[in-house]
Amino acid sequence: MSEIVFKIDIPSDDDGFVTLQCSFCNSKFKLTTADFQSDDVIYIFCPYCGLQNEGNELLTDEVLEQVHTIAQNYMNSRVNQFMDGLEKSLRGNKHISFERGKKLGMEDDKVLFEREEMEIVQPTCCKRPVKTKPLEASLGIYCPFCGVK
Ligand SMILES: [Zn+2]
Ligand SMILES: [Zn+2]
């Protein structure tokens, strides 16, 4: 078996920010794609609760659902292909009669989008921008990169 790699594009907003979700408090915030994917960023501090998340823990429910859909569709299409092949190879065979069932359907890929209103904050420590909910932005947030409030 070869390894299958599913590539999921997490869409960024007009300003180039991707939406992330803290695995502790489930609140959403946004970082620029460049910062989120940067090699020197291993842990990200939630701007709201200040706890450390690993990069892959920050995927939103919507993105995880998308991963599930893509994996499911891939499996379904493999099953369909296999059944096609089986049907073809058994056609005209006197000893085995093969009747295939219904083809497995595909789920629609959902379009991922995020419309939550957020404000850009630039912590003075790391000078990397973060988008948070307006109220928290005005109250003060933890810097996602060093955890300082
Ligand atoms: Zn949090
Ligand atoms: Zn910082």
- For 33-73, the pLDDT digits (tens) are 999 988 888 899 999 999 999 988 898 888 888 888 888 99
Q: Say how many Å lie between the CA of residue 19 and the centre of ligand 1.
A: 13
Q: Say how many Å lie between the CA of residue 90 and the centre of ligand 2.
A: 65
Question: pTM value?
Answer: 0.72
Tokens of residue 68, six digits: 């599930």
Three-state DSSP class for residue 20: strand
Strand order in the sheet with 130-132: 17-21, 28-32, 130-132, 119-121
Tokens of residue 108, six digits: 């629609």
Q: Say how many Å lie between the CA of residue 117 and the centre of ligand 2.
A: 23
- The closest alpha carbon to 106, from 70, 62, 63, belongs to 70
Q: Say how many Å lie between the CA of residue 36 and the centre of ligand 2.
A: 14
